[in-house]
Structures are given as C-alpha cells and as structure tokens.
C-alpha cells in the first residue's frame, strides 16, 4: 500500500470523526498585494493549508471591505458581471476573477473563513495602475511677440501619478525641405517623432499651414527641453508640469511636447506650437554682382520674418514693381521675381 495515500486517508477519516474544530484550516499567506493594469484581467487567490470538506466550503467567503459580500463558497453573490468565481482545481484554493478590472476595483479584499473558534481571514490589497492621460494649456498655437513671456501647463492623470518630461521640435529642424503647393500655401505631412531615451514612436500630424512644413514623411528626433534650457539658463524654467519662457525669441519657435509617463506603457503626449512674431531681418549673400551687358542677372535677397514678409525691389530709390517670373504678365527685358525672393 502507498504510505502517502494511507496517511491522507487516515487524516481525512480523523478529520471527519473528530470534527473541524480539531483541525481548523489556516491560510498559507495572511496578506498579499495584487497589481493590475486598468482594463486587464486580475485574479485574487485564497490558498488554505488543507482541502476543505463539503460542509466547510460554505463557510469561506470573499468580501470587499468594508462589508460588500462578493462570493460564498462556490456561489457568486455580487451582481457585478465583471466578477466571477474561478473553477476550483483543488478544495484548498479559492479564486476570484475580475475581467476587466477597473480603477474602482482597487482597495482591500478579504478571504474570510468562519470557524467556530472565531473568524480567520486573509487580506488582499488590489492596486489598479492606470495609463497616463495628459493635456496641455494653452493648446493649439500660441502666438507671441519677440521678448514676451510664454507659459505652458501640462495637466496629467494616472496611477501611479505620472512624471512629466518636456520635449521640443524646433521649427528649423522641421522645415529644412519644403515646397509650395500653390502660391501662399504649403504642404502638410505625417512625421514620426523619435524619443532618444525610449523606443516609442509617436505619429505627429501638424494642423497648421503656416509656417511651411516638410512635404515628405520622415523621422525626426525630439530634443529634451533640459538641453535647450541649458543654453538659455536665464530664460527657460521647468517647474513640475509648468514650462516658463521669460523672453521668447525666434530661435525658440517650434512644437513643445509634454510627455506623461508611469509604469503603464505607452506614455501620453500633448503639444502646442509656439510661434514668435518678429520684424524682418535681411541678408544679402552678394553685395556686388558682375555681369555682361545685355545678359541676364539674378539678385538674391534672403530674409527672416514672421509672419512672412512681402519683398519689394528698388533701383536707385525707384520701386521696380517686379511681377513673378511665372506670371503671364512677365515680358522679356523686364524685371521679375522668383519663388524665393530673387530678382
């Protein structure tokens, strides 16, 4: 005869004869913590040191504190459709399933056994982790004059409470290549933004037709704002979810991204576009040009301005009233202007 089987049989016989008072069940753990992500499945487990007799099973219950009865024995009590009893694989294991688990399910649960000598219970603390959400204020486009102050606030929520990171995409990086769709308007595109610290990618679709944007899809690396703040130590300040730029300039034009992250992936993003209005600045690559008589010559005027400036050409103080070179009004031996402010 198998000795282990004989011992088990003798134990059950002794238990049934002597009664449960002589051998009260105990919990293998008196306290446990369960972490679950909002929207996933969570299982609470109550493990006893021995199998229960049929007369004992009805004495075990699941409660959510303070006094909400969820299940008793093999019977579900709660009307919540998300909660169910896991079919027993053993008379010593009792499990409760939440599918899906939500934020309100967090809290203290107890697996209770009502014994004639007193109530015994195991505590299960459920911690619900919630993916971060974020919004930025003001959102959309923030227009300022050069020298004014900018103030952006990042409002985040989630469990655990998210940490905040700021990123920037300078407009100069984004508009390295652009082309006119038709005069006065520009193409938009989807751009994949790459974070240097994580392998997470975000699809970014700008909503603005000015200033000009890159026509083709490409990957752009976001710049951590603390790298830019190191360059402008007296102008850029980050205080938790607040970004303060005390004096904006044309080099700070671009998209500012607020990222909220915690232990639940992926992180959440929100962004605002900062545009700075400043007067035109003109650059002349060539101040002196030599050309043959009756030949063609091209004069180039480079400028920076926002909003985009109108360019006029003058000769000895007289306005040339040049028309676009692709205009039907253009005639040979007259003045015309090219797309990029050339004459």
- DSSP string over 288-339: -----TT-----B-EEEEESPPP---EETTEE--PEETTSTT--TTS-EE-T
* Same structural domain, 91 and 149: no
* Same structural domain, 185 and 99: no
Question: What's the pLDDT band for 131 if we cut at 50, 70, 90?
Answer: very high
Question: What's the pLDDT band for 334 if we cut at 50, 70, 90?
Answer: low
Q: Which domain holds residue 173?
A: 138-279
pLDDT of 180 strictly over 70: no
Distance (Å, whole) CA 52 – CA 48? 8
> 3-class DSSP state for residue 114?
strand
pLDDT of 325 strictly over 60: yes
Into how many domains does the chain fold?
A: 2
* Same structural domain, 147 and 124: no
Last residue of a domain, one of 279, 302, 327: 279
* Same structural domain, 143 and 252: yes
- Of the chain, the percentage scoring pLDDT greater than 70 comes to 74
> 3-class DSSP state for residue 3?
helix
- pLDDT of 36 reads 96
- Whether 229 is covered by a domain: the verdict is yes
- pLDDT of 193 reads 57
Q: Which of 18-22, 28-32, 163-167, 290-294 has the lowest mean pLDDT?
A: 18-22
* Same structural domain, 102 and 34: yes
- Whether 17 is covered by a domain: the verdict is no
The CATH number for 261's domain is 2.60.40.10
- Whether 52 is covered by a domain: the verdict is yes
- pLDDT of 327 reads 67
Last residue of a domain, one of 242, 257, 279: 279
- Whether 320 is covered by a domain: the verdict is no
Last residue of a domain, one of 103, 129, 155: 129
pLDDT of 342 strictly over 70: no
* Same structural domain, 226 and 161: yes
Q: Which of 212, 219, 217 is nearest to 190 (CA)?
A: 217
- pLDDT of 219 reads 57
* Same structural domain, 102 and 143: no
Quote the pTM value.
Answer: 0.69
pLDDT of 13 strictly over 60: no
- pLDDT of 117 reads 81
- pLDDT of 18 reads 47
Q: What is the pLDDT of residues 47-75, one digit of tens each?
A: 999 999 988 999 999 999 999 999 999 99
Task: Please give the angle made by the CA atoms of 317, 321 and 327, to the nearest 5 degrees.
Answer: 155
Per the model's pLDDT, the better-predicted residue between 320 and 259 turns out to be 259
* Same structural domain, 146 and 112: no
pLDDT of 158 strictly over 70: yes
Decide if 166 contacts 259 (C-beta within 8 A): yes
């Amino acid at each position: 005869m198998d000795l282990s089987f004989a011992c088990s049989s003798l134990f059950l016989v002794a238990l049934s004869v002597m009664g449960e008072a002589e051998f009260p069940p105990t919990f293998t753990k008196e306290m446990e913590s369960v972490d679950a992500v909002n929207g996933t499945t969570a299982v609470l487990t109550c493990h006893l040191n021995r199998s229960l007799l049929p007369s004992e099973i009805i004495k075990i219950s699941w409660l959510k504190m303070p006094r909400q009865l969820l299940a008793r024995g093999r019977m579900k009590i709660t009307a919540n459709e998300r909660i169910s009893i896991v079919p027993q694989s053993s008379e010593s294991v009792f499990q409760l399933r939440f599918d899906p688990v939500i934020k309100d399910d967090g809290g203290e649960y107890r697996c209770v056994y009502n014994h004639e000598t007193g109530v015994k219970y195991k505590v299960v603390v459920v911690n619900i982790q919630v993916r971060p959400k974020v919004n930025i204020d003001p959102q959309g486009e923030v227009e300022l004059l050069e020298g004014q102050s900018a103030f952006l606030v990042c409002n985040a929520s989630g469990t655990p409470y998210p940490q905040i990171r700021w990123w920037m995409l300078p407009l100069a990086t984004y508009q390295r290549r652009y082309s006119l769709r038709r005069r006065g308007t520009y193409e938009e595109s989807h751009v994949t933004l790459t974070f240097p610290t994580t392998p997470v990618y975000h699809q970014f679709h700008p909503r603005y037709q000015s200033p000009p944007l890159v026509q083709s899809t490409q990957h752009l690396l976001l710049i951590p704002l603390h790298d830019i703040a190191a360059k402008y130590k007296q102008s850029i300040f980050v205080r938790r979810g607040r970004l303060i730029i005390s004096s904006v300039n044309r080099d700070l034009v671009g998209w500012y991204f607020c990222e909220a992250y915690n232990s639940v992936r992926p992180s959440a993003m929100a962004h605002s576009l900062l545009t700075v209005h400043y007067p035109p600045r003109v650059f002349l690559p060539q101040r002196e040009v030599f050309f043959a008589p009756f030949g063609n010559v091209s004069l180039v005027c480079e400028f920076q301005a926002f909003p985009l400036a109108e360019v006029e050409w003058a000769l000895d103080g007289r306005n040339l009233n040049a028309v676009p070179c692709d205009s039907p009004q253009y005639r040979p031996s007259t003045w015309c202007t090219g797309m990029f402010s050339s004459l």
